[in-house]
Amino acid sequence: MDAALRPLLWDQHCCLPLSPLADVGELARYARSGGSVVSANVGYAPHSYDYVLSLLRAFRRGVAADERLVLASTTRDIRTARDRGRVAVVFDLEDSAPLGGRLERVQALYDLGVRTMLPTYNRQNAAGSGCLDAVDGGLTEYGQALVGQMNAVGMVVDGSHCSIRTGLDLCDVSQQPVIFGHACMRTLWEHPRNITDEQARACAATGGVIGITGVGIFLGPNDASVEALLRHVDHAVDLVGPEHVGLSTDFVFDDHGLDVGPDDSYLFDESYAQWDEIDDLPPERLLEVEDGLRDRGYPDEAVTAILGGNFLRVAEQVWKAPSSTPSAA
């Protein structure tokens, strides 16, 4: 295919080392003709608000200093990055706990480039229940207020890592599209991190997108292959249509992969620990997905939608102008 006609690629979630010293230049591995967008995680449950800010500032400096990357505050920035052959970078927060219960911090994080946030990460917090909780209490009153604040600011609500009921509640409460930004289909592989068909349908009903992720233990028996990812894409498309399916590697840019330390071991269970090493799909393999979709007979419009058009559509609908424009520092 002519490079000028290739569709945009959007990886909704990847994991740089959560250190201000992380090499942000690794995100340039997503570069492709046709353009690409990548959302990098800037923290989760164990982190304080101040530490999240330190990561954001460091990552922003790193992106601004790298001529291969562009900070994307608006969807116009994404198109500009595409025209210049650069990778557009946004950020996501993988738990609302770092907010410390202060909803006004949603706007501050949005202004620094956080475009997506998960209310919970595997375990219960003030916003709701996680996917590993024995009791699923759903979204709390505070969680409902959080969704309202995210809607008002322009930050996309992500039900990944949430419990089944919390995910369904998010779809019911939100006035904007809800995504499951990095998730696989539980019908194909039984893992508590995977979403049910009911959750997928609820997500689609909001206009949202399911980002099929490239983590081996969510795709199958630690099978981080393009073929395994495409099987989950097929099921999601059969269920809700190609206009509600996207991609997300959930790739960890760290030689040690998922490193569970003593301070965050409570966030995981045997469904993670049974594997000596968790395989995941690197950016270079994600670039093979377009050919895989075409080989399966997906039409051009579906390929364009799944590769990145659907997440771009949600961004165009949900994102708002930042209240301020901070410098890269």
Per the domain annotation, does 147 fall within a domain?
A: no
Residues 77, 82, 83, 86: what is their CA dihedral angle, to the nearest 10 degrees? 90
Q: Could you give the number of structural domains in the chain?
A: 1
All residues at 6 or more sequence positions from 278 whose CB lies less than 8 Å from its CB, including other chains: 215, 216, 217, 222, 257, 258, 272
Which CATH number belongs to the domain containing residue 229 in this structure? 3.20.20.140
Per the domain annotation, does 205 fall within a domain?
A: yes
Per the domain annotation, does 155 fall within a domain?
A: no
Q: Which two tokens stand for residue 116?
A: 């997506």
Per the domain annotation, does 238 fall within a domain?
A: yes
All residues at 6 or more sequence positions from 103 whose CB lies less than 8 Å from its CB, including other chains: 145, 146, 149
Q: Per-residue pLDDT for the chain (329 aa), expressed as one digit of tens each?
A: 555 578 999 999 999 999 999 999 999 999 999 999 999 999 999 999 999 999 999 999 999 999 999 999 999 999 999 999 999 999 999 999 999 999 999 999 999 999 999 999 999 999 999 999 999 999 999 999 999 999 999 999 999 999 999 999 999 999 999 999 999 999 999 999 999 999 999 999 999 999 999 999 999 999 999 999 999 999 999 999 999 999 999 999 985 444 444 466 778 777 777 777 889 999 999 999 999 999 999 999 999 999 999 999 999 999 998 887 675 54
Identity at 229, one-letter amino acid code: L
Gap between the Cα atoms of 64 and 327, Å rounded: 9
Is residue 70 within 8 Å of 81, Cβ to Cβ?
Answer: yes
Gap between the Cα atoms of 93 and 125, Å rounded: 15
Q: Which two tokens stand for residue 286?
A: 């994600």
Gap between the Cα atoms of 109 and 107, Å rounded: 5
Query: What per-residue confidence (pLDDT) applies to 275?
Result: 76
Per the domain annotation, does 149 fall within a domain?
A: no
Distances from the Cα of 159 to the Cα of 122, 199, 222, 310, angstroms: 11, 9, 23, 17
Model confidence, pTM: 0.94
Per the domain annotation, does 249 fall within a domain?
A: yes
Per the domain annotation, does 139 fall within a domain?
A: no
Per the domain annotation, does 168 fall within a domain?
A: no
Range(s) of the domain holding residue 274: 3-117+174-318
Q: Kindly state the helix (H) or strand (E) to which residue 75 belongs, with its residue range.
A: helix 75-83
Is residue 125 within 8 Å of 45, Cβ to Cβ?
Answer: yes
Query: What per-residue confidence (pLDDT) applies to 104?
Result: 97
Phi, psi of 132 (to 5 degrees): -100, 0
Is residue 249 within 8 Å of 13, Cβ to Cβ?
Answer: yes
Q: What is the DSSP letter of 269?
A: -
